[in-house]
Chain A
Amino acid sequence: MTASSLIRNARSEPCRPWPRHVLSHDEWSRMAASLVEEPTLALLAIWADTVQVHALLLDDAAHAVLVASTDIVAGTYPALSPGRPLAAWFERLVRDLWGHAASGGLDQRPWLDHGHWPHAHPMAPRPAPYGGASEPPEFLTVAGEGLHQVPLGPVHGGIDAASHLRLTARGETIVRLEARLGYTHKGTLALMRGKSPRTSARFAARLAGESTIAHSIAFARAAEAALATEAPRRAAALRAVMAEIERIAGHLGDLGAVADAAGFAILSARCGRLREAVNRSAGIAFGHRLMMDCVVPGGIVADIAPGGSEAIQRALLGLAAELPELERLHDAGVLIERLSGCGTLPLGPALAFAAGGPVGRAAGRSFDARRFHGYAPYDGLGVVVPVLTEGDCDARARLRLAEIAESIRLLHALLNTLPADGVSVPLPAESGDGIGCAEGCRGDIWHWLRLDHGQIASVFVRDPAWAHWPLLETVARGSAVADLPLVKASFGLTSSGVDL
């Protein structure tokens, strides 16, 4: 039996819009073993609560989401990492936060816990007195002659998120790259517990700054699904307006960062100016340049300001007029030579790690959460999703340019046909499980939450960077040390969304 049918046949518990299947340890182990034979079943996340561990899987072939759970028995559960390498990172997270051990897991080193918290296992019912994690960290060893190690971070030399990269190189060639994250762990999941979705929305908005709207939408949709309510049509349309503005701003920022890393100042300057115009129009329309806290469960916090729609459309006209010039600058000589063939991600790893956003789509994995069924208002807009297959820095840049053009089209369509109903509905103080997704500028974002009489009992968040960090490790192998900043900028890597 395949892993997906093992999950589908198991007893199900209510969770909207996809039921959650509870597997026995035996079924879970068989599911873990058969994951290897079902490469189209992508693992999105593993998380836990105090009594169960959960896995979120995406059946790429059937375009369906599967949620599987198993009980924690004597503090352990069977590991998924032998069948899905990405699972190892989540298993380390589950151990650090809840104290549940993955038996048979590939990697038992601490992850988020660097040995500085007041207690170990802070999400467990009774956090343990300290005794676990260690500094200095252990890194994977590399055997061979003429190797040297370069430690990079957690403080980097640019305006960059805290992370540590351990490079092992032979001469100028990277032999192994290992990322160590967890530096920016803020205990967000623990802060969200025990609060209403409305109060917790400000944490969802601060999971990853560049995707504040996408995270807010995924969180709001999860809360609305759990409570079987829906945001008004006007709110859904304005959420999409904000999401597309954020996507354009994010893509311009990433295009600029890549041009900067390649030393191509003129493109970086252009992107910076255009991005500023987009952010300012968002400030006029929604009262905040990044639109932080504008999306709340039940709808949006306030209607678009008078004149906001015109301000956005003006910024878009300026952007649309300059897009051909950006494309010309990108294709003209030096930059394309620097980016072509640099940081190439093959389709295989992109599928295995469920790479989302421009990273996945530039490598041929076409998934875009906006095309996932039931995502209003996108289901009526006919979103065109460009897909490339080269997988290198150049493909990611061209994909971002193509997506900006599509977002401009979507924004005009949305703003010209805004529905006239309300901007929010009150949420009932009821119980239930819900899952929500949204497509951010870096990829698909998934939120799961469990409400108990209107308060969050448990919550987990899957940021696209979960896939992109391990893929950076894969792509870096065999590439030049000097290419690393460029590839990192091209992937658009941030820490906060995965450090939680």
Chain B
Amino acid sequence: MTTVEMEDRAAFRTQRRNSALIDIAGVLLTILIALVAAFVIVAMLGKNPVDAFTALITGPLERPNRIGNWLEQTTTLTILGLSVMIPFRTGQISIGAEGQLYLGALAGAVVAILLPLPLAVAPIVATVVAMVAGGVAGAIPGVMKARLGANEIVATLMLNVIIVQIFDYLVQNLLRSETSTAAVSDQIRSEYAWLRLQELTGIPLSRANVGLLVALVLAGLVWLLMSRTSLGFRMRIVGGNPEFAKYAGLPVARTIEWSFILGGAVAGLAGAHLVFGVFSRLEPAMASGLAFLGIVIALLGRNNPVGIVLAAAFYAYLRVGGDVMEQQTDVGSELIIIIQAMIVLLVTAQALPMIVRRLRAKRKAD
């Protein structure tokens, strides 16, 4: 008999609560270790780590526009984290968010540049177009994986390359603005722009916009999808054990396809946020590296919508703080990448929760 079987309900609940706390403690410890290591590295470079860390930690809150930057990045990273989480929970290692984001941004922007629409429907139409485009970009590797047995990592990675090339080509040629010297597209029509938080609150919050609320609502919807719908049930079973899903008669291939399509649609929404909320036009490399951050966010947030919102907020804060640090001290924002790398290593190794558990067990035994 295992120990769980011998426990009563109350003991089990306590134990489950404890293990959730251990998980959270592990994540916090991960972050702390990464920050301490970064601190030591700065000191070893002969620079002043106290100044650098003061800028990093207090910088983002010092001015409203920095808070705005923080909220804007939180929005993008939350949506991307959620987009990665859906296939992850279905057991699919999709790294296609980048291509899906760009295709969504491209499709949304084309509509928003060329098609005059009434203000009431314009943002919704363009957002739906972006999400459908992202979904299509997700469906391609999804079908390849589910029906043809292609490796989803390779399929999504290759598709990223293709889409990014097409995007760059179009932005630099067909869609290139005639009025701008840089290789960017025309501005989107004004009726498509997402409302800035500055217009709502009167505080100069830079480019932060209603996308933040969209991201929070989306987190709730993704939670509902995974835990309250039969599609989410199928995704969890397929993610838990695809052989079991097959044996139980679940439509495994279709479930995998849906996870890619929905993940792609959410990534397309992230693209819509960048076009309609942040840049108001297409720019080359407008989201470079962001999609891969989505993977970090999903891992750090333990593939849980609430965790992803928190992880995105934390990570966006670091990025904004890193920029402040770079401006105010002689420590470059590359430090943030070091911190990110440490976090990825520690989280993927899952070492810390285990260490916390072991320490607790030892204390209990003594």
**A associates with B:** no
